[in-house]
Amino acid sequence: MSSSIGRHRFTALLLSGLAGFAVLLAAIGIYGIVAYSVSQRRYELGVRMALGAGRGRVLSLVLREGLGVVIVGLVVGLAGVVVLGQVLASMLVGIGSLDVPTLTAVSALFLGVAVVALVVPARRAASIDPTEALRNG
C-alpha cells in the first residue's frame, strides 16, 4: 500500500514545498516593495508628522496603501483562477474548478502573510523623526 501511493505522496510533498516557497517569496516581495516605498517617501512622511500626524496615522496610512495593492492582486489572482478553473480542475483530484473554501483559505493566507510583511516597514515609517527627515530631505 505504501509503495503504491509513494509517488503521489512525493508529488504532494514537492508541491507543498514549492507552495511554501512561493508564500515566502510573496512575503519577501511585499516587504521589499513597501520598505522601498517608505524609504523613498521618508521626507513626505516626515512632513506629515511635523504637521501633526501621529504615529498611528502614519502607520495606518502605510498599512492601508500596502493592503490596497495586495487586495488588487488578490482580485486579479482570483479572476485568473476563475478563467483558468477548468485547467486547474483537471489537475487537482477531488477539487472542483471553483472550490470556494480552498480559494477563501488561500486568499486569507496571502492576506495574513501580507499583513505580517507590511507591519515592519509600517512601524519603521511611524518611527521617523520629523526633524531628521526634514533635515535630510
What are the sequence ranges of the domains in the chain? 23-136
**What span, in angstroms and rounded, lies between the C-alpha atoms of 77 and 121?**
25
How confident is the model over 24-49, as a mean pLDDT? 88
Each residue of 116-131: pLDDT tens digit?
888 988 888 888 888 8
Residue 16 has a pLDDT of: 92
Each residue of 83-114: pLDDT tens digit?
887 777 777 777 666 778 888 998 999 899 88
The three cell numbers of residue 30 are 511585499
Tell how far CA 79 is from the center of its chain. 17
| % the chain with pLDDT above 70 | 94
**What span, in angstroms and rounded, lies between the C-alpha atoms of 43 and 72?**
27
Pair 113, 29: CB distance under 8 Å: no
Full-model pTM: 0.73
Residue 102 has a pLDDT of: 83
Each residue of 39-87: pLDDT tens digit?
888 888 888 888 888 889 999 999 999 899 899 999 998 898 888 877 7
Q: What CA–CA distances, in Å, run from 62 to 27, 58, 113, 136?
A: 16, 6, 16, 21
Residue 89 has a pLDDT of: 72
